[in-house]
Amino acid sequence: MITFDHVTKRYAGGTLAVDSLDLEVPAGKTVVLVGPSGCGKTTSLRMINRLIEPTEGRIFLDGKDIHQGNPSTLRRGIGYVIQQTGLFPHRTIEDNIATVPLLNGWSRAKARARSRELMQLVGLEATMARRYPHQLSGGQQQRVGVARALAADPPVLLMDEPFSAVDPIVRASLQDELIRLQGELHKTVVLVTHDVEEAIKVGDLVAVFRPGGLLAQLDTPERLLGKPADDYVEGFVGFDRGIRRLSFFDAASLDLQFDAVLPEDTSAAEAVQVAKQAGEPWVLVIDAERKPKGWASTANLESVPGSARLASVPLVSYGHTFRPDSHSLRAALDATVLSPTGRAVGVDEAGQVVGVTSYDRLRAGIQTAQEAADQARGSAHDRAAS
């Protein structure tokens, strides 16, 4: 756990970079510091490994004041990843990754073995071990940077705009990789970014800074989107936060409907009857393996002979499906919006239909999920207050 206790950084000339910051980074969590340039987020990060010393206040790492003791010793227990990678151009990839183990006095053989292990962990081919940094792409270099930071297995990882210099596709994959790695390693990660999307994607907690080095809000991404503390945070979080917040609610809570889902060998007459009973203008037709085939409208079904099988009736495409067991409400909403019938098909891992949802049912689901989240926050606040 990292604790900032009334930490202030004032530069010569009086510029206030960080203003009396109180912040707690729980062990094993990813906390993202986000804000516009000049808000003190990078300064705050660099105070953790003492690249910058605070003017006032103290920082504790697992209860110990980091300002006591040798900075080099402190730094070897803290991984550091920066935007420009800072890889050593004169050392091979494996030796770059082995830097801290070698500083800690490991044998060269052991350190290199560890390098190979880490290259695999971050998804680098073993053939790159003997190459030099300039021979790698930007994304690969950044992976080396992450591997190098993890080499001595430090409990804390500091990342300063780690993915800002790569193109959006590589950035997204590096973010996914970080989330995957963090799921395995459970490091205490502090990541600085100016990209609020990145913060919401990778952070367990997000700290929004305002210009002048003040902390505006520290919250989970869902709460940041749901209840921004003030206009500044709301403006910073940005457009369509309501929709984006739905990413944090599971689609499993949706009340799916199975009334108007019929096998393809059903007759048109029977289908019309079922649809009318269910009050549905559309029937979802499924094949023998219970996979979706398409939508049939009751109007269309009434115009064909009653004995015709659904397999022979022209169908409307079912569009995108969603997975209630693993997707969010945002994915369900997206599938519904994109469907020509205003109804989205939920499927399981095997692609078999588990139910359908409509705008009406989605609205109810979203409302329930939001109320539950708000209630949870309310009771958390009550607990904090008592």
Partner 1 sequence: MIWSWIPDHLGLIWQLTVENAYLGLVPPLVGLIISVPLGIVCVRWGWLYPPVLSGTSIVYAIPSLALFVALIPYTGLSDTTVIIPLTLFSLCVLVPAVVDGLRSVPEPVRQAATAMGFGTLRRLVQVELPIAAPIVIAGMRVAVVSSISLASVGQLIGISSLGYLFIDGLQRDFPTEIVVGMACVIILALAADLLLQGVRALLTRWQRGDADVATRRVLTRLTPGGAR
Binding part of the chain for partner 1, among 75-83, 196-204, 245-253, 307-315 by CB under 8 A, reads 75-83
Q: Give the number of other CB atoms < 10 A from CB of residue 235.
A: 10
Q: Under a CB-based contact definition with an 8 Å cutoff, are residues 211 and 224 in contact?
A: no
Contact between 103 and partner 1 by CB under 8 A: the answer reads yes
CA 386 distance to own-chain centroid:
32
* Contacts of partner 1 in 138-197 (CB under 8 A): 148, 158
What is the SS3 assignment for 196? Answer: helix
Tell me how far, at minimum, the Cβ of 130 lies from partner 1, in Å. Answer: 11
CA distance 382 to 386: 6
Contact between 134 and partner 1 by CB under 8 A: the answer reads yes
Output 96 or 328, the one with its CB closest to partner 1: 96
List Cβ neighbours of 240 (8 Å cut-off, separation of 6 or more): none
Tell me how far, at minimum, the Cβ of 68 lies from partner 1, in Å. Answer: 16
CA distance 185 to 90: 30
Contact between 86 and partner 1 by CB under 8 A: the answer reads yes
Q: How would you class 148 by CB atoms within 10 Å of its CB: exposed for 0-12, middle for 13-18, buried for 19 or more?
A: buried
Axis-axis angle for helices 138-150, 108-121 (nearest 10)? 130
Binding part of the chain for partner 1, among 57-65, 70-78, 200-208, 229-237 by CB under 8 A, reads 70-78
Output 78 or 208, the one with its CB closest to partner 1: 78
CA distance 53 to 362: 51
Tell me how far, at minimum, the Cβ of 134 lies from partner 1, in Å. Answer: 6
Contact between 52 and partner 1 by CB under 8 A: the answer reads no
Tell me how far, at minimum, the Cβ of 77 lies from partner 1, in Å. Answer: 8
Contact between 129 and partner 1 by CB under 8 A: the answer reads no
Tell me how far, at minimum, the Cβ of 143 lies from partner 1, in Å. Answer: 15
CA distance 204 to 220: 6
Output 187 or 323, the one with its CB closest to partner 1: 187
Residues in the chain: 386
Burial of 192-207, coded b for 16+ CB within 10 Å and e otherwise, reads bbbebebbbbbbebbb
Binding part of the chain for partner 1, among 36-44, 96-104, 274-282, 336-344 by CB under 8 A, reads 96-104
Total of residues contacting partner 1 (CB under 8 A): 27
Q: Which residues bind partner 1 (CB under 8 A)?
A: 49, 51, 72-76, 78, 80, 82-92, 99-100, 103, 132, 134, 148, 158
